[in-house]
Amino acid sequence: MDAERATGIYNNQISHVCIGRKLSADGFYWCHVDNYKNYVFKKYNPHNKPKPVLQINKISDKIIKTFDSAYNAARELNMKATTIRRVLMGRKKSTHGYKFKFAS
């Protein structure tokens, strides 16, 4: 929780890096203090870089805004990035009155 308060990066994203589910969170590598001396920095994969996301009005289908990533959209719209990603992946049709699609 201290890292989340200090950086503004959600605790679950930091945790996913610490347990090896993600490579980085908001551009940072993370590990537990006990593992720091033995931490192996993984090579960055450019294919995993964030993709631009479109926020679309659910009713009119008009594009409202383009974001650099689902994470940035979530932060600005005060939503959870996982909810936006579920819409992007087709698991949900919409959230909070919006549709989201990857910009082409």
Indicate if the pLDDT at residue 48 is higher than 70. Answer: no
Chain CA centroid to CA 60, Å = 26
pLDDT for residue 104? 80
pLDDT (tens digit per residue) in 8-41: 888 888 888 777 787 777 777 777 777 777 766 6
Q: Which two tokens stand for residue 30?
A: 């993370």
Note if the pTM is more than 0.75.
Answer: no
Q: Which two tokens stand for residue 2?
A: 């201290």
- Rounded to 5 degrees, what angle do the CA atoms 79, 23, 8 make? 40
pLDDT (tens digit per residue) in 51-102: 899 999 999 999 999 999 999 999 999 999 889 999 998 999 999 999 999 9
d(CA 12, CA 70): 15
Domains of the chain: 2-47 (no CATH), 50-102 (1.10.10.10)
